[in-house]
């Protein structure tokens, strides 16, 4: 005999998950009542959005489904942004919400909300449990759907009476939670692909998040080493290509490198490995890679032909497809693309990128990154600091750079970094936030303190909503309407109020890069401490992120400096 709540916890453990993130409330009291002895560690966040972002961080860093728990009504609605974020970025996530008693559903009862209907467009699958006996099968299906194919979020809504109900149903076992293998790909089009490669004069590879989600990083690197053609990464692909590889173009897209965007504009054959080709990557889709034939490797057929028709679409799991391609490459008779590679990745363009070090934030990030140990994770929020952090990230740690990409959710970084640190206790986790986004979930400093997490929290404080201000400056005649944050609190004092030691790093206009000459000790104290620390960097208010592709422009029309 077991209660519905016991079956939920048993299902979570059987799925191989030992940590969940949540916030209790009336409709999930039975679930929390059964928590002790379940074998599951629960991290209490200070807001449901903090819980779902933390579960996302845990999932992004571990590769397994994260779990977030909330009560009915506002608890459930506070999860919605994180659910949408996970959908956009293909993050495996299982959200469990409480619901009002079964006999009250549809009566507008206290804290009743149709979270099942609300989340249908945002999830891979949503389910309202109607009988306690359904819980084991529903939970098995939830974890399977979240983690199979293109990963994503699911939601399981359970009425409070079903959590309390007693049943003879057997708790699930781990062998019942074996993930369904991806469907086998069709015959690999080796002949057609070889023909395209032989005809290409300026081929380029674009590496997206799909490579990491498939666990195909090693195969992708072997493939790129074999092809030796220029290769760029989306923001979620960062780390998949070794930074010192001769073919590495860096990040592509709106704030990508000049080399990457120029190569994408000039290419005649674009090989896309697990990337959605969203507007932040392509710029004007009508002028994206205008002369290129596109070969698109993708596990989700729905992502094909949405921006540009693929000349050759190869649907399947990259963990299977890339090794199959490697097997036939020796017979392909590859051309020598060394002249094109040197032109695309050559020293002239590299020097152009290096000139960006004159921006104080970039120089500071370079110095902080140099202090990162091999086992590390960088978690960025959304805004200018996010793009600076992505531009300067130069490691081969495939899951080392984590951010909210598709949805662009401000307030993501702090709770997500909590999840990353919990998933990897030995990792050095650097959380980079802007002064705007940091305040959106600033309450999670309490979670950092309670859990004793040694997070390194960098707040880039420019007293503006920086990315919006940049667009206002460049395209709206400096009309900084409602982006002024000059009345920010003293973040050092706030952090210390939460029991977290903090320092401030100001600017010295007379020093190189505008950074204080004696900053080494501050940075080392910050990065090498065994406890949580916060560092506030006073960024110049009108510092901008370049290169930048304006809205509606082609990648070739990127701005390299203020007009």
Q: Under a CB-based contact definition with an 8 Å cutoff, are residues 45 and 68 in contact?
A: no
182 found inside a domain: no
Residue 347, strand partner residues: none
Type and span of the H or E element at 402: strand 401-403
Residue 510, number of CB atoms within 10 A of its CB: 8
Same domain, 279 and 372: no
Residue that finishes a domain, picked among 148, 177, 206: 177
pLDDT confidence tier of residue 534, bands split at 50, 70 and 90: very high
**379, pLDDT greater than 90:** yes
Smallest Cα–Cα separation from 400: which of 373, 376, 418?
376
Q: How far apart are CA 254 and CA 180, in angstroms?
A: 37
- Per the structure, the complete domain to which residue 289 belongs is given by 190-352
Q: Give per-residue pLDDT as tens, 431-471.
A: 999 999 999 999 999 999 999 999 999 999 999 999 999 99
Find all residues with CB under 8 Å of 43, minimum gap 6, and list them. Answer: 19, 20, 21, 22, 51, 54, 418, 422, 447, 451
* H or E element in which residue 227 lies: helix 217-227
d(CA 438, CA 449): 16
Give residue-wise pLDDT tens across range 495-526. 999 999 999 999 888 887 788 888 999 999 99
What does the radius of gyration of the chain's CA atoms come to, in whole angstroms?
A: 24
State residue 105's pLDDT score. Answer: 95
Report whether pLDDT(349) > 60: no
Q: Are 270 and 295 in contact (CB under 8 A)?
A: yes
Long-range interactions of 238-242: CB distance < 8 A, separation 24+? 238/390, 238/393, 238/400, 238/401, 239/212, 239/393, 239/395, 239/396, 239/397, 239/398, 239/399, 239/400, 239/401, 240/207, 240/211, 240/212, 240/398, 241/207, 241/396, 242/396
> Are 311 and 436 found together in one domain?
no
In whole angstroms, how far apart are CA 444 and each of 86, 381, 482, 520, 542? 20, 14, 26, 28, 29
Count how many Cα atoms sit within 13 Å of the Cα of residue 35 in the half-sphere of its side chain: 19
Task: Give the mean pLDDT of 289-313.
Answer: 92
Residues 347 and 368 in one domain: no
What average pLDDT does the chain have? 93
- How far apart, in whole angstroms, are the C-alpha atoms of residue 333 and residue 79? 52
d(CA 55, CA 38): 19
Last residue of a domain, one of 317, 352, 387: 352
Which of 323, 352, 381 corresponds to the end of one domain? Answer: 352
pLDDT of residue 396: 82
* 219-231 mean pLDDT: 95
The full DSSP string for 151-211 is --EEEEEEEHHHHH-EE-PPPP-GGGGPPPPPPPP----HHHHHHHHHH-SSEEEEE-HHH
Residue 555 lies in a domain: no
Beta strand 312-315 pairing with 293-298: parallel
Q: Provide mean pLDDT across the span 306-329.
A: 90
Q: Using an 8 Å Cβ cutoff, are 303 and 243 in contact? A: no
Number of domain units in the chain: 3
Let me know whether 212 and 264 are in one domain.
yes
pLDDT at 398: 84
Confidence class of residue 346 from pLDDT cuts 50, 70 and 90?
confident
- Whether 219 and 121 share a structural domain: no
Provide the pLDDT for residue 355: 53
Count CB neighbours of 276 within 10 A: 27
Q: Which of 474, 471, 556, 563 is nearest to 286 (CA)?
A: 556
Q: What is the pLDDT of residues 12-21, one digit of tens each?
A: 999 999 999 9
Q: Note the pLDDT of residue 181.
A: 65
CA dist., res. 276 & res. 306, Å (int): 9
Identify whether residues 293 and 376 lie together within a single domain: no
Q: What is the DSSP letter of 484?
A: B
Residues 6 or more apart in contact with residue 90 via CB below 8 angstroms: 150, 151, 152, 209, 210, 213
Q: What is the mean pLDDT of residues 310-318?
A: 93
The two most distant CA atoms of the chain are separated, in Å, by 75
| 550 located within any domain | no
Residue-level pLDDT at 219: 95
Query: What interhelical angle do 190-199 and 318-329 show, nearest 10?
Result: 60
pLDDT of residue 418: 98
Res. 331: pLDDT tops 80? no
396 and 260 housed in the same domain: no
Per-residue pLDDT of 381-424, as tens digits, reads 999 999 999 999 988 888 999 999 999 999 999 999 999 999 99
CATH code for the domain in which residue 124 is found: 3.40.50.970
Assess whether 291 and 166 both reside in one domain.
no
340 and 364 share one domain: no
Residue 340 shares a structural domain with residue 197? yes
Q: Is 300 helix (H, G, I), strand (E, B) or coil?
A: coil
- % of the chain beyond a pLDDT of 90: 85
Helices (H), 90-159: 115-119, 135-147
CA distance 496 to 414: 16
Q: Domain holding 233: CATH number?
A: 3.40.50.1220
Please report the pLDDT score of residue 347 as a whole number: 59
Instruction: Give the whole-angstrom CA distance, residue 369 versus residue 548.
Output: 23
Is the separation of the CB atoms in 390 and 233 below 8 Å?
no
Q: What is the pLDDT of residue 562?
A: 74
CA distances from 546 to 40, 257, 354, 468, 549 (A): 45, 9, 12, 14, 9
Q: How far apart are CA 59 and CA 519, in angstroms?
A: 35
What is the pLDDT at residue 493? 98
Q: Is the peptide bond before 434 cis (omega within 30 degrees of 0)?
A: no
For position 511, what pLDDT does the model report?
A: 82
Kindly state whether residues 171 and 273 are assigned to the same domain: no
The larger pLDDT score, comparing residue 333 to residue 117, is at 117
Query: Is 552 within the bounds of a domain?
Result: no
Residue 318 φ then ψ, to 5°: -60, -25
Report yes or no on 100 lying in a domain. Answer: yes
In the predicted structure, residue 180 carries a pLDDT above the cut 80: no
Report the alpha-carbon distance of residue 147 to residue 47 in Å, rounded: 25
pLDDT in tens, 43-73: 999 999 999 999 999 999 999 999 999 999 9
Do 275 and 326 belong together in one domain? yes
Instruction: Please count the helices (runs of H) and the strands (runs of E) in the chain.
Output: 24, 20
With respect to residue 553, please indicate whether it lies within any of the assigned structural domains. Answer: no
């Amino acid at each position: 005999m077991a209660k519905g709540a016991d079956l939920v916890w048993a299902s979570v453990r059987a799925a191989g998950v030992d940590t969940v993130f949540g916030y209790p409330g009336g409709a999930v009291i039975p679930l929390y009542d059964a928590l002790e002895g379940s074998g599951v560690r629960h991290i209490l966040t200070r807001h449901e959005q903090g819980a779902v972002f933390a579960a996302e961080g845990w999932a992004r860093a571990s590769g397994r489904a994260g779990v977030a728990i909330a009560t009915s009504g506002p608890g459930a609605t506070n999860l919605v942004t994180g659910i949408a974020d996970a959908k956009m970025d293909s993050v495996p996530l299982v959200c469990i919400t409480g619901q009002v008693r079964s006999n009250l559903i549809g009566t507008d009862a206290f804290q009743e909300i149709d979270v099942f209907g609300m989340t249908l467009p945002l999830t891979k699958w949503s389910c309202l449990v109607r009988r306690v006996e359904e819980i084991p099968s529903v939970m098995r299906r939830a974890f399977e759907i979240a983690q199979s194919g293109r990963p994503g979020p699911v939601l399981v809504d359970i009425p409070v009476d079903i959590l309390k109900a007693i049943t003879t149903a057997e708790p699930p076992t781990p062998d019942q939670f074996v993930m369904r293998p991806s469907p086998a790909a069709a015959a690999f089009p080796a002949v057609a692909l070889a023909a395209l490669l032989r005809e290409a004069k300026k081929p380029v590879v674009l590496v997206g998040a799909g490579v990491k989600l498939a666990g195909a990083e090693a195969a992708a690197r072997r493939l790129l080493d074999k092809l030796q053609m220029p290769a760029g990464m989306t923001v979620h692909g960062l780390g998949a290509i070794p930074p010192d590889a001769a073919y590495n173009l860096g990040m592509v897209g709106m704030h990508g490198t000049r080399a990457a965007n120029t190569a994408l504009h000039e290419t005649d054959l674009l090989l896309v490995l697990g990337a959605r080709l969203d507007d932040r990557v392509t710029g004007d889709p009508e002028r994206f890679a205008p002369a290129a034939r596109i070969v698109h490797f993708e596990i989700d057929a729905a992502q094909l032909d949405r921006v540009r028709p693929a000349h050759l679409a190869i649907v399947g799991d990259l963990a299977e497809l890339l090794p199959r391609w490697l097997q036939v490459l020796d017979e392909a008779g590859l051309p020598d693309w060394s002249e094109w590679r040197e032109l695309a990745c050559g020293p002239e363009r590299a020097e152009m990128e290096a000139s960006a070090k004159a921006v104080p934030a970039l120089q500071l990030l370079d110095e902080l990154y140099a202090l990162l140990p091999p086992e590390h994770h960088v978690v960025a929020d959304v805004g200018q600091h996010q793009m600076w952090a992505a531009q300067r990230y130069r490691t081969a740690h495939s899951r080392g750079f984590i951010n909210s990409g598709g949805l662009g959710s401000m307030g993501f970084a702090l709770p997500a970094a909590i999840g990353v640190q919990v998933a990897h206790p030995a990792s050095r986790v650097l959380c980079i936030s802007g002064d705007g986004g940091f305040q959106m979930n600033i309450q999670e400093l309490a979670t950092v303190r309670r859990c004793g997490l040694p997070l390194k929290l960098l707040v880039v404080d420019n007293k503006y909503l920086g990315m919006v201000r940049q667009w206002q400056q460049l395209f709206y005649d400096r009309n900084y309407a409602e982006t002024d944050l000059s009345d920010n609190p003293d973040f050092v004092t706030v952090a210390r109020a939460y029991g977290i030691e903090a320092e401030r790093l100001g600017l010295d206009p007379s020093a190189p890069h505008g950074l204080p000459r004696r900053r080494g000790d501050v940075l080392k104290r910050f990065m090498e401490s065994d406890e949580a620390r916060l560092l506030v960097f006073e960024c110049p208010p009108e510092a901008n992120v370049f290169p930048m592709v304006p809205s509606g422009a082609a990648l070739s029309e990127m701005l390299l400096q203020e007009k």
